[in-house]
Amino acid sequence: MTEFIEFTRVHILDLPHDLLLNCLARVSRLYYPTLCLVSKRFRSLITSLELYQTRALLGRTESCLYLCSRLSYGSKQCWYTLCKRPTPSPYLTLPKPKPNHISGWFSPCFRPYRIPKSSNYHMVSVSTRKFSHWTWWTCAAIGSTIYTVGKYIYGGISSRVFFLDCRSHTWHEAPSIQMTPKYPLMSVIDGKIYVVEGLNVPDSSDSMKVFDLKKQIWEHLPCPRAEIFGKSYILRSLAIDGKLYLFGDKNMVYKVDENKWDVVGLETRISWAFSDFSCVIDNIMYNYILSRKLQWYDSKGILWRDLKGLEELPKMPKSCTRVRMVNHGGKIALLWDKKVRGFDSNEKNIWCAVFAVERRSEQEVYGKLEWCEVVLKVPKSCCLLEFLAVDV
């Protein structure tokens, strides 16, 4: 990678605009923060939508990881994206940031924050524009965007919907949801966002909305929630195999292709999986449990089985709330925090691991660890909010 950067300084900077854009589009986005160091022209191209349109035309779209955290209680949300450190080269010395002044080191969209020196991968801070100071209840990734619903604006709950364009790292406003969700639950199926009001609300029968990204409109989905759930509550929603599951003290499922609702009995144990520390790959649910194990759901045997082959994975936290899991382009990306040893330490490390999964038999799924590193150092008071994968 560093040889490429050295080559760009001598030759590529003189290339025509279209040809240079074509070259940059073929480079993994993991290296874009480093390429921002080459020149102002590179920074301008890397933050342009034209580059990502070219990447899509060339079939170079890839899954990118995003982390949202809060450094302390009551503070603003901070967004990060995963990047890769370039291989050291004797032919290239990258400029060092000035003390207490990092804004000029990377582009405004990518800024380093407490990067571990020994790590090949690290999280860099993303400077989002507009609405970044507002908080939300839930969010979901779809394509190259992250949608948020249930924002708290000036101390009140709003029906306004916003999305973060992960190509330009800019917030935009989408059509309002036509309801004021206090505890919205979001799921994505076939390019549509399904939003249901969680817990118990007065008007349960009118609590399901569907957002069609192509039409950019919200539609009402008739839901027999009041008939089935009555005054009971919904804790979480789950999308898998073209179906939307709603779990609470009672369970139900919406089959999208059949446009049909059914009650889910105790015969399924998939309700054990919580969205923050579970993910779906090729219609198989993977989950992290309190015994520090990763498991997958056998839908035929109706039971959870241990994921094998991950003996090299470091010791994980006991608390599931400190773990996040996401489908990262067909692989599992696992994120967790771990306190730094030391009596006076006020920091903790954010670990990330990526591994592929392979089903070898009806009863065996193996994981193959690709890498596992500390990607960020944060204050001990830091709280993990969202861990998402987008395609850019």
- Please write the tens of the pLDDT for every residue from 345-359: 788 999 999 999 999
310, pLDDT greater than 70: yes
Q: What is the pLDDT of residue 268?
A: 66
113, pLDDT greater than 50: no
In this prediction, residues 374-392 reach a mean pLDDT of: 92
Q: What is the pLDDT of residue 229?
A: 60
d(CA 17, CA 1) in angstroms, rounded, equals: 21
Window from 5-19, 25-39, 58-72 with minimum mean pLDDT: 5-19
Window from 4-13, 26-35, 43-52 with minimum mean pLDDT: 4-13
Q: What is the pLDDT of residue 146?
A: 95
d(CA 276, CA 298) in angstroms, rounded, equals: 20
100, pLDDT greater than 50: no
**Environment class of residue 55 by beta-carbon count within 10 Å: exposed (0-12), middle (13-18) or buried (19+)?**
buried
Q: What is the pLDDT of residue 1?
A: 53
Window from 142-146, 187-191, 192-196, 266-270 with minimum mean pLDDT: 266-270
Whole-number percent of the chain with pLDDT over 90? 38
Instruction: Check the CA dihedral 51-53-58-63 and report its sign.
Output: positive
Residue that wins the pLDDT comparison between 358 and 97: 358
Query: 217-241, pLDDT tens digit by residue?
Result: 999 988 876 676 666 678 888 899 8
The pLDDT confidence band at residue 15, using thresholds 50, 70 and 90, is: confident
Q: What is the pLDDT of residue 305?
A: 93
Window from 16-25, 77-86, 112-121, 183-192 with minimum mean pLDDT: 112-121
98, pLDDT greater than 50: no
d(CA 3, CA 49) in angstroms, rounded, equals: 26
Q: What is the pLDDT of residue 103?
A: 36
Query: 239-272, pLDDT tens digit by residue?
Result: 998 999 888 777 889 999 999 998 887 556 777 7
Cα–Cα distances in Å, from 178 out to 92, 174, 195, 215, 267? 55, 12, 11, 16, 36
The DSSP line for 256-270 is TTTTEEEEE-TT--G
Q: What is the pLDDT of residue 251?
A: 84
Window from 5-19, 148-162, 207-221, 348-362 with minimum mean pLDDT: 5-19
Q: What is the pLDDT of residue 112?
A: 47
In the chain, where does the domain assigned CATH 2.120.10.80 lie?
138-271
Window from 124-128, 149-153, 288-292, 383-387 with minimum mean pLDDT: 149-153
In this prediction, residues 34-50 reach a mean pLDDT of: 84
Structural element, H or E, at residue 226: helix 225-229
- For the domain made up of 138-271, give the CATH fold: Neuraminidase (2.120.10)
Q: What is the pLDDT of residue 106?
A: 41
